[in-house]
Structure 1
Amino acid sequence: MVWQETYEKWTKHTALDKDLRKQLEELQGNDKELEDAFYKNLSFGTGGMRGILGPGTNRMNVYTIRKAVAGLAKYIKSNVNDAEKRGVAIAYDSRHMSKEFAVESAKVLGAEGVKAYVFESLRPTPVLSFAVRHLQAAAGIMITASHNPPEYNGFKVYNEDGGQAPLEEAEAIINEVNKIDRELDILVKNEEELLESNLLEWIGEDVDKAYLEQLKTIQKQAVNESTLEIVFTPLHGTAYYPVMDGLQQMGFQNIHVVEEQAKPDPEFSTVSSPNPEEHQAFEMAIALGEKVDADILIGTDPDADRLGVAVKDASGAYQVLSGNQLGTLLLDYTLSQTENLTNGKVIKTIVTTEMGRAVAKHYGVETIDTLTGFKFIGEKIKQFELTHEHFLFGYEESYGYLIGDFVRDKDAVQAAVAACEVAHYWKQQGKTLLEALDTLYEKHGFYVEKMNSLTLKGKEGAEQIATIMEDIRERPFTNLAGLNIVAVEDYQTSERYLPLEEKSEDITLPKENVMKFLLENEAWVCFRPSGTEPKIKSYFGVKTDSKDDSEALIKTIQEEVEERIASILK
């Protein structure tokens, strides 16, 4: 069906939401915007469904939410035991329309006879993951667009294990969603009906207390009377209460909050992006840190599944750690302080630093790789229950970490309290986190990683991203920065080609549109379209015997890759 037909169906729908109708009227005559809003349905990627708020099948609104929830309801009723009775746990962050979408989800579930447990106020993503397990729910829904700009919102699906729905489940759910061709006519029940028939239950404090109790289990040592000075910013999101409660419960007292960023704000008005991966998000935290002479600055994204950390360098200026650097510090501390490492496993993604593998090997622990996306780490943890392997730590380069498996998604609350414990430990040794990192580099090698992200919006952008991947796949690199390619990994065909040996091997991970090139001397490059944003990401990793050599090598590799991509787009 061409987009104009879908657009016409919406404009002629007599009961169309009045705000969406007004927005459609304002878009009249703007065919480019209208085409982008209606030319396709929002699809599930590595992190669920995410998009710009507004009218249209390719936008986040009550109708795309209803369609997604109706598909989920049909899936769990057919595939999960006692789904109607066990219900679905629902949480939401501080974004525009988040609570409305959460309640709308409950209304659709109620019409399907499925109970909904909805948090009475905003909560972090990891608390939703925990709630699914704690309540033994059949599934979970998180309304969030993570660290995206204010005009976005999103919808994440969690399975009964509390993890994001893995590929097979997500495909089955989306198949159910795609069977629904009349998103404007989906039945809903009103809130009063749901409460009267016990199909809606508001939840909150009891789940919070249970989560905080589990948070105690990741603590490795007492930190009472710690002199550590902490600055914390929740970046206008959901993390204020759980992080503050977690730090105080652990024993930290000297916590300074960036008050201007403590309150939820869907516009994220004090930052250009509410993303702790970006250094500008720490500007206010750095100013406060300088004022109180803080040892560590911690910042969480809006739904509190990602954590950024900044610490002082040798000159006394605050430096934001990369996700790989913080992950390495957390990993080393966790393994060094864990008594029983028998049959223990560390899980990381294929674009996360190889330094983690070196650290784990030092402690006699195996590292397992997964595709990008924490859903795959959660899926592995679930498998460990059958194989009796012991989960020790999971992380990805994009600031996502997990220590205790009572949550099955990345958890910035866990990471925040753990990072402060690690900083406390090293302060006792007379070192900052950067100095601690230097000791690890001296021991394991100077690993350096970078990531380039190219945003190409709309239908045209999606086509350009496809063209880049197609070109790289059809004309693979043979060398970069003078280093030969020793392996070409195509995760779409599940094939690893070894050009120097002229032979191929199978890749056992799930199929995904990813290309990775392994170079001599432990360098590597990986290309991956984002599953949730209009971006193509290029990841780079190197290892040499010195920081300067590693920085120079990775810069050369980046430049050669950028030239190649620019030539493709000409």
Structure 2
Amino acid sequence: MNSWQQVYQKWNTFQNLDLSLKATLDDLKTNNRALEDAFYKELTFGTGGMRGVLGPGINRMNIYTVRKAVNGLANYLLVNRVNVKDRGVVIAYDSRYMSKEFAVEAAKVLGYYGIHTHVFESLRPTPLLSFSVRYFGSVAGVMITASHNPPEYNGFKVYNETGAQIIPEEAEKIIASIKDTTDELSVPYLELEQLVARRLITWVGKEVDNAYVERLAQISIMDQMTLNQEKGLKIVYTPLHGTGRDLVTRGLAQLHFPNVHIVEEQAVPDPGFSTVESPNPEEHQAFSRAIALGKQVNADILLGTDPDADRLGVAVKQKDGEYQVLTGNQLGSLLLDYILKKNDPVVYQNARMIKTVVTTELGRAIANSYNVETIDTLTGFKYIGDKIQQFASTGETFVFGYEESYGYLISSFVREKDAIQAAVMATEMASYWQQQGKTLFDVLDELYEKYGYYLEGLSSLTLKGKEGGQQITNIMEAIREQPFKEIAGFKVEKVENYLTGERVLVKEDMVEEISLPRENMMKFMLEQNAWVCLRPSGTEPKIKCYFGVKGNSSEDSKQKLADLQKKMEEILAGIID
């Protein structure tokens, strides 16, 4: 009997197995391929948490895998933090299947160890969870969400006492603690009634929301007279069946934007995301209903937040009346330019803009023009949050942070990407430029003309299951063993191996250290300011290939990007074959 079959038999014969999971196992009993995928390995707990398909098995999201993760977290906290039981843990959840159930299961396990929990009484956005950790002075936060993944997914994200996602050093200790729990089916917990009776759980209402909204008003950089005026900008907003509606609309209302039209059929929380192929504002199909409403009300700007409201997409009306969705790199660059243009230059003395290594270099060019230093981090907003925390001791000032995947942070009262902050600031920015007679695309063209025609792209190759995971490993190993010397006619100037922490300068035949945490990622810096980066996704069965170019014109950039993308897709296909 294979090892996965032994684990399956343990689950299948467990007398107290959750009835819905038992029913699913019964349905799968003749499907060995599906059973193997569910039981051949434990669901990966990565650098921020875990995410996976719902269902029975150790490679699935269910009450038992959640309990095991929380058990490990509880033991980690008790050893590595002080006053853990009283300070407690904050738990929030979004609109996905089983989200509230998993939140309560987390509280039940923490309660067994005497750790108090603050659990939101209804669904809330991820950035509010980040804010609430520091608001309550808690030792950690847990967010039940799978962000923008398909409906069959859910996830479990862990935040440290700063309100940022846990960093690798913390994750390694938590993972070790989780592994000490050998049997996920027998994790100890209290019943909910016991938590209430022992006052180990507090249900959180609107108190934190109100405190967040007060801070949200302070990010505006409008002068007082403009702030108090009603603005004429017409806005359409879709929460994409998620958590963003209340805080986004409150944020816009307090800045006196009265013309906000909600896509009502997408304003209702729906774990099936019934009106979209994917609840991801990175994918333009998610805006189809917002575009239809935008045309109906003649909106100037369309806003879309993903289910847990940490990512924002924006579409802008063009002169021909059609709407075009900005890329994450474009919106981030526009926000950065607006914030630096409108802010007091006095703050720039020690100001820092933070971006990831796969985010557009246009941001660096904009920041340089204001004498603001750019700091690069690895992919993932946890690294931006951690860098902000370091500023408390270095005297540096955070002015903006962003990543290409539609994540932005304007003010550090949250330590996670925040689509609510970004929605409010993007609206303010669009209103400002409208008063100057410009759309956001007009301003973007001006930035390109001034700094260069930066253009970025992304290809994702999905390789599911045990076989797919091995294929992804093979791709990365092949590229590390034989790094490219040229790609699509572009000579390689630098090779950055983030797994070994080494940067090879090809012409100089020199090796430098990369002063960032280790990660399974390869980046190739090419001539003519082009670059390519390969990285397995930490949350999906994908390998991602990022591209960036800088051209002399829009057409030049598009051609260079197309050449790079075509060549890399050919290379990846060749490795798999």
TM-score range with shorter-chain normalisation?
Answer: over 0.9
Give distance in 1, aligned partners of 2:47 and 2:88.
24
2:37–2:465 Cα contact (<8 Å) kept: yes
2:48–2:167 Cα contact (<8 Å) kept: no
Amino acid at match of 2:217: K
Map 1:216-227 → 2, pairs under 5 A: 216-221=217-222, 222-223=226-227, 224-227=229-232
How many Å apart are 1:476 and its aligned residue? Answer: 1.3
Moved over 6 A (4+): none
- Picking from 493, 498, 513, the partner of 2:505 is 498
Identity, in percent, stands at 61
Q: Deviations over 1:21-46 (max 9, x none)?
A: 11111110211111110111111224
How many Å apart are 1:470 and its aligned residue? Answer: 1.1
Aligned to 2:357: 350
Amino acid at match of 2:498: Y
Give distance in 2, aligned partners of 1:190 and 1:252.
46
Aligned to 1:277: 282
Map 1:416-495 → 2, pairs under 5 A: 416-495=423-502
Aligned to 2:366: 359
Give distance in 2, aligned partners of 1:388 and 1:198.
41
Aligned to 2:317: 312
Q: Deviations over 1:162-218 (max 9, x none)?
A: 000000001111110011011100111111111121100000211001000111121
Map 1:191-340 → 2, pairs under 5 A: 191-221=192-222, 222-223=226-227, 224-339=229-344, 340=347
Amino acid at match of 1:427: Q
Give distance in 1, aligned partners of 2:118 and 2:47.
25
Map 1:532-547 → 2, pairs under 5 A: 532-547=539-554
Amino acid at match of 2:330: Q
Secondary structure of the corresponding residue to residue 17 of structure 2:
coil
Q: Deviations over 1:336-365 (max 9, x none)?
A: 112121200000000000000000001000
Secondary structure of the corresponding residue to residue 218 of structure 2:
helix
Secondary structure of the corresponding residue to residue 467 of structure 1:
helix
Aligned to 2:395: 388
Aligned to 1:29: 30
Secondary structure of the corresponding residue to residue 324 of structure 2:
strand
TM-score for both structures, normalised by structure 2 = 0.98
TM-score for both structures, normalised by structure 1 = 0.99
Give distance in 2, aligned partners of 1:22 and 1:188.
24
Secondary structure of the corresponding residue to residue 147 of structure 2:
coil
Give distance in 1, aligned partners of 2:172 and 2:255.
41
Q: Deviations over 1:399-441 (max 9, x none)?
A: 0000110100000000000000010010011000111111111
2:314–2:325 Cα contact (<8 Å) kept: yes
How many Å apart are 1:314 and its aligned residue? Answer: 3.5
Q: Which moved more, 1:325-334 or 1:312-321?
A: 312-321
Aligned to 1:404: 411
1:400–1:410 Cα contact (<8 Å) kept: yes
Aligned to 1:86: 87
Give distance in 1, aligned partners of 2:255 and 2:199.
37
Q: Deviations over 1:105-164 (max 9, x none)?
A: 000000011001000000000000000010000100000000000000000000000000
Give distance in 2, aligned partners of 1:137 and 1:196.
21
1:527–1:536 Cα contact (<8 Å) kept: yes
CA RMSD of aligned residues (A): 0.8
Alignment of 1:530 onto 2:543 = no
Amino acid at match of 2:269: P
2:47–2:166 Cα contact (<8 Å) kept: no
Give distance in 1, aligned partners of 2:200 and 2:531.
51
1:46–1:532 Cα contact (<8 Å) kept: no
1:47–1:373 Cα contact (<8 Å) kept: no
Amino acid at match of 1:259: E
Amino acid at match of 2:436: Q
Give distance in 2, aligned partners of 1:189 and 1:430.
61
Alignment of 1:55 onto 2:62 = no
Aligned to 1:44: 45
Q: Deviations over 1:437-475 (max 9, x none)?
A: 111111110000000011111101101111111111112
Q: How many residues align?
A: 570
Aligned to 1:19: 20
Q: Deviations over 1:362-403 (max 9, x none)?
A: 100000000000000000000001111101100000000001
Give distance in 1, aligned partners of 2:91 and 2:73.
13
Give distance in 2, aligned partners of 1:112 and 1:232.
43
Give distance in 1, aligned partners of 2:542 and 2:317.
32
Aligned to 1:374: 381
Secondary structure of the corresponding residue to residue 218 of structure 1:
coil
Aligned to 2:76: 75
Secondary structure of the corresponding residue to residue 268 of structure 1:
coil
1:217–1:404 Cα contact (<8 Å) kept: no
1:525–1:538 Cα contact (<8 Å) kept: yes
2:234–2:260 Cα contact (<8 Å) kept: yes
Secondary structure of the corresponding residue to residue 527 of structure 1:
strand
Aligned to 2:172: 171
Give distance in 1, aligned partners of 2:50 and 2:551.
40
2:316–2:440 Cα contact (<8 Å) kept: yes
Amino acid at match of 2:491: N
Secondary structure of the corresponding residue to residue 520 of structure 2:
coil
Amino acid at match of 1:353: T
Aligned to 1:7: 8
Give distance in 1, aligned partners of 2:421 and 2:22.
43
Q: Deviations over 1:213-260 (max 9, x none)?
A: 111121010342211000000000000101011110111100000001
1:47–1:532 Cα contact (<8 Å) kept: no
Give distance in 2, aligned partners of 1:349 and 1:523.
16
1:7–1:56 Cα contact (<8 Å) kept: yes
Q: Deviations over 1:289-317 (max 9, x none)?
A: 01111110000000000000000224221
Aligned to 1:557: 564
Unaligned runs of 5+ in 2: none
Give distance in 2, aligned partners of 1:287 and 1:17.
44
Secondary structure of the corresponding residue to residue 78 of structure 2:
helix
2:497–2:523 Cα contact (<8 Å) kept: yes
Give distance in 2, aligned partners of 1:42 and 1:391.
35
2:493–2:506 Cα contact (<8 Å) kept: yes
Change (3 A) 1:46 1:280: farther
Give distance in 1, aligned partners of 2:62 and 2:42.
12
Give distance in 2, aligned partners of 1:451 and 1:44.
25
